[in-house]
A and B are shown apart, each in its own frame.
Chain A
């Protein structure tokens, strides 16, 4: 599943970005304070509830909204994924939950610390902050970070607080370049002058950290990975087509998604996605467009329901006369995944998408964006994308 694959990507240790509120302009500082207050109150409520049931000799619990497909609803009018009302109760006095319960409380405590100190930590930092040996045993509070990450997500959903509000940021992955000038924590960032590497999108792209200063771009082209992004950047695509070029390293992290959303919402820029022709690519599109199942409760602030899917399309093998070398056989898992995606409520009654997935399955192979390079190094930047845009040939 998508979730698993995203976990495989190792979390990078990131140098602490300059996200501390001290550099934010006065107005957003008070916003931050109010938000922090609200978050602290939520944590306090969680703690009080536990204390109350403990002292009353009741089994303490935390309700955690379920992050499963079955508990996510597609809001047709808003065209985004929303979290259902199903929650899982996490009890202390349940053998299979006791440790997770302890971890949840431990992380809540850690977040409170962070907020009060006005500091932020990465997921990994948070893991280390809460890591210690349990008194009187040789057991650690967490075995590894893969244990603390989901518990933090649990905490987010159960508090109804965003990760940013808890002063925790995700791994930073994602690049931007293009006709736009940003303010990041008070520093002006001219995305036209970012050289070959581009500007790396911060994990927190909330208005108190990132503001848009000047933008001439008319649209955003979001590509799946850094290799393709570099191709476009090297060809100065954003210059020739007056756009913004972003990349999210596979499934885009929250910072990237939040930025896309704000570019779309605040600057009215359409978002076009260039992703692989495989279930994973389709899933990334789905995440950008409707929100992820994991963080469905955040889609309101992240999803871009209007985002369009440019390619790669299953028909491209013939349309672009690609060689056999680009074919990557679909695995059994791919096939099941593809069928699952076809069943997603936001895909299920879209005939073009149904056709697309069917065709991919009929092909029996997948293709990466890079496959276009077999035709010509700049085929993708000079022919493929401009043609699609011109013909307005994309999936929605």
Chain B
């Protein structure tokens, strides 16, 4: 909670690189396209500063509000992302309520409520009334939000399409009542206009745990199911966030619950300072402008990670200055020298303990809950670095079961646990899936296409700064380092899938064989009884035992390595087999967290599942099930 309350004390800046771009270039471009003759004087008369809000209002597609359907989804996404971030920062297991109320054919009211730490009253107007205002931009910490645009953009879109202000009810203190505010954004000034400010009385029902925030936005939208729908977004959110409980009331007034399947909060991600190799020249100049350090040496040591006194000295010397050079004397040329020096000097990679991956165990729990497949596997890569930013890739595969067998695989993409539903083809993770050679894993893959078959590929990138291709945070930019890690993780999972599929094929062959033998054995036993007088039943049993022994080989191998969780399924062909593949018996890879514990002690929430799946027998951890 402390970080949250402390965060906004940093001065919000609207002159960050992203924000600056629009203020400078668009007007000049505009002038070029003018057909009528204009003089410098007339043009000068037209020059005017453009507020960020104004720019985004005109370019709302950049923020994910291109069309009514997407706008509705983006609004929910921004609010839910914030809710989850807030809960996690507050150390609270998220309990999130989402309601989409249809007011007219194209008019909706979105309500998102969390049980997070709440927002102090003074901050509300800035958060909801100002673009590029947030606690997450000026730090390097793994979180869903990072730009300070999200919720205010949603509010702005609502205001623009319906004229209605955003309604915020927040309760930051257990003892004090909640406050209720209506905020309008003044786009021309990028400032909030407080429409009403009251104390909210009956907040017990809203915040049973004492704190929380509810955001209500009215907007023009369109509600459709299927791909890229709210439902899909929430389903995928549940997969990547098995520690969250989500309740969703649809426009049709149906309630869908996504129950929690892991009872622990992910570890709190650590905030880190930027790594020198990860910044661009412009950022370096900004940091120099903003630093509290007086001397360059101190600046390097204080404002960056992985720079100690000796490295600071080395950088300064390479740049032709000293530790003691005054920051205020560093001009553009010096900054450039400093930037070059940073590239030359060898530096330790940034710390990676700032990353909190979902973890294979929780990832499997999420997949098991959300995807009805037969085979699940997950892999978490060790952390790596792109452009000085630590990141970590995780991949999960779900295969078979109720997944459509005739279609191409489905890729579900996540960045810092947020599902990415748009611009799949632009996304690094999608490209990595295309790159993997699925043929090696017993799947067919037409050239340049996704593999075919009942497969869901989940890719998660965790990073202190996810390089999105645009502000709408829809696709991950294609960095070689990122793509490589993704491929490695896919290969790891793919190999396991391949092993399983090969084994499954063999198993099918074996059980077919067995059924052939079983069919004839009874006849043979009966005839032998009639010929010799031997007991047919005894004979039958002896032969059956032999048939099992002769066809048991493949089963045994599966038992040893494959951890069949529902063994009876092997005989009844259409039933699901849930398998968690063991780690390869590779000694280097020992002690991995996958599997065992997850399924031997199924997380409690799994038992209170209310989905269809719970009808199935509980996946008994040991293969105790005997053939009937």
Contacts and interface: CB of A to CB of B under 8 A. Distances in A.
Contacts of A141: 523
Interface in A192-241: none
B546 A93 contact: yes
A59 B521 CA distance: 12
Contacts of A99: 516, 520
Contacts of A92: 517, 520-521, 524, 543
A102 interface: yes
Interface stretch (B139-147, B346-354, B526-534, B560-568): B526-534
A106 B547 contact: no
Given A44-B532, A93-B547, A102-B524, A54 B517 contact: no
A98 B528 contact: no
Given A51-B534, A54-B528, A98 B516 contact: yes
A137 to B, nearest CB: 6
Nearest to A137: B519
B542 interface: yes
Contact of A55 (B522, B523, B538): B538
A105 B524 CA distance: 6
B623 interface: no
A248 interface: no
Contacts of B542: 54-55, 57
B531 A108 contact: yes
A105 B543 contact: no
Contacts of A102: 520, 523-524, 527
Interface string A133-160: 0111101010000000000000000000
B609 to A, nearest CB: 36
A113 B529 CA distance: 13
A2 interface: no
Contacts of B534: 47, 51, 55
B571 to A, nearest CB: 13
B316 to A, nearest CB: 78
Given A44-B532, A47-B532, A55-B538, A135 B522 contact: yes
A57 B524 CA distance: 15
Nearest to A113: B530
Measured as residues with beta carbon below 8 angstroms from the partner, the interface class of chain B is 20 to 34
Contacts of B525: 54
B484 interface: no
Interface in B3-57: none
B520 A112 contact: no
A305 interface: no
A109 interface: yes
A136 B528 contact: no
B256 interface: no
A54 B546 CA distance: 8
Interface in A123-141: 134-137, 139, 141
A114 interface: no
A93 to B, nearest CB: 5
Interface string A46-68: 11101100110101100000000
Q: Among A54, A57, A98, A106, which residue has the most Cβ atoms of chain B within 10 A?
A: A54
Interface string B502-542: 00000000000100110111111101101110100011001
B549 interface: yes
A95 B532 contact: no
A280 interface: no
Contacts of B513: 95
A132 to B, nearest CB: 9
A105 B528 contact: yes
Given A55-B538, A99-B520, A101-B520, A109 B547 contact: no
Given A51-B539, A55-B538, A136 B550 contact: no
B613 to A, nearest CB: 31
B545 interface: yes
B532 A51 contact: yes
A51 B536 CA distance: 10
A44 B519 contact: no
A47 B546 contact: no
Interface string B200-243: 00000000000000000000000000000000000000000000
A103 B521 CA distance: 11
Contact of A98 (B517, B522, B531, B546): B517
Contacts of B517: 92-93, 98
In the A-B complex, the 7 residue pairs with the closest CB atoms: A47-B531, A109-B527, A102-B520, A47-B532, A105-B527, A51-B534, A102-B523
Interface of B: 513, 516-517, 519-525, 527-528, 530-532, 534, 538-539, 542-543, 545-547, 549-550
Interface of A: 43-44, 46-48, 50-51, 54-55, 57, 59-60, 92-93, 95, 98-99, 101-102, 105-106, 108-109, 112-113, 134-137, 139, 141
Given A50-B524, A55-B542, 14 more contacts: A47-B528, A50-B528, A51-B534, A51-B539, A59-B550, A60-B543, A92-B520, A92-B543, A98-B520, A102-B524, A105-B524, A134-B520, A134-B523, A135-B523
18 contacts: A47-B531, A47-B532, A50-B524, A54-B525, A54-B528, A54-B539, A60-B524, A92-B524, A98-B516, A99-B516, A102-B520, A102-B523, A102-B524, A105-B527, A106-B527, A134-B522, A135-B522, A136-B522
